Homo-oligomer: A and B are copies of this chain.
Amino acid sequence: MANTITYTYERLKKFCEDAFEKFGFCSEEARIITDVLLLADLYGIDSHGTQRLVRYHKDIAKGLIRVDAKPEVIFETPVSAVIDGHDGIGQVIGYRAMEKAIEKAKKTGIAVVTVRNSTHYGIAGYYAKMACDQGLIGLSTTNTTAIMVPTYGREAVLGTNPIAISCPAEPYPFFFDASTTVVTRGKLEVYNKQDLPLHAGWAIDSTGNESTDAAKVLGCISNKEGGGILPLGGSTEDHGSHKGYGWGMVAELFSSILSLGTTSDQTNIGGKGGICHGFMVIDPTIFGDAAAIKAHFSAYLEKVRSSPKAEGRERIYTHGEKEIEAAALRMKSGIAVNVNTVAEMRDLAQFLNMNVEDYLGAEALSIKGKKSIYQ
């Protein structure tokens, strides 16, 4: 693609880690934040990858994210913990919370850790994968800025509220990471940029009626005039709107409710994030033979993948398959970064007194991106 520049994983990693250190994070924290962002890039979830780097920097500048915050355990039992993130960066808080859930589950078999006063933590799946990488079942959820309108409402009071679950399997783990809205805001923005009408069942305007006008809906959302994105299942109960809305509420329960934190409708208001997360880890050995369970799951997933395809379709994917394929390809062929993002990164590098040519190549010097906040 002409409007992208391709970088190796290692090169982006070096740039991000050094940039986050320049933001004020210690090297271990910079490594964690970068690892979360780059997993999104490797998995093809570009909206949550390096393109968010500048946004995190802005949030730090605004005081929304506090670089020096240390997550604090404010309540704890052998199977649980509640952590106050003290407005730190979501990736570090999420990582520490999932580490704690894993540590506890290795002793007790199951653990749940909830978090309040955090900020955007990247892809929910990263944390579920942390558990899965150690042979455990991981679950992670978060609330977000309110953007989901409940069934029959016209004001966003829930977030996109993703839930991710990962479980060991061969040849690759089950990795399910899905917002509980029908689509995310990023999708609306892509359609808006391309002047395409939205699909029916995606979004409503400030009257609560469905709208396929991306610019209008995004305007309503930005100006907090009402309207927003519909739950998975669309606008009415005929297609299960109440189910997606229910899953959004479950995400809220396991993040903001069980941490006594800020519900989505009150997050990111008045310079305060207040984002909440939830993490659960289950050790499959509490059900007997973990190897047999893994083999049983692997066989079933393979059976689903190899079941007959719909006319005109060549593949049935199980969850995580696309991500593993994308990561293998991108580790080999590099990660294509949109030139506007590269221009932002270049301007950020200059702002941070980093050598642009060393980090991003001579190419990055010559591209004309949109005017950035650093110019």
Contact = CB atoms under 8 A, between A and B. Distances in A.
Given A304-B157, A310-B204, A258 B239 contact: no
Interface stretch (A19-27, A214-222, A242-250): A242-250
Interface stretch (A33-41, A62-70, A284-292): A284-292
Contacts of A137: 253
B243 A259 contact: no
B209 A311 contact: yes
Q: How many copies of the chain does the oligomer comprise? A: 2
Interface stretch (A7-15, A87-95, A174-182): A174-182
A308 B154 contact: yes
B176 A250 contact: yes
Interface string A188-224: 0000000000010110100111000000000000000
Contact of A153 (B204, B244, B309): B309
> Interface on chain A toward B: helix, strand, loop, or mixed SS?
mixed
Contacts of A250: 165, 176
A183 interface: yes
- How big is the A interface, by class? 35 or more
Contacts of A315: 152
Interface of A: 75, 77-80, 82, 108-112, 114, 137, 149-155, 157-158, 165, 167, 174, 176, 178, 182-183, 199, 201-202, 204, 207-209, 226, 232-234, 238-240, 242-244, 246-247, 249-250, 252-253, 256-260, 263, 265, 282, 284, 286-289, 292-293, 296-297, 300-301, 303-304, 307-313, 315-319
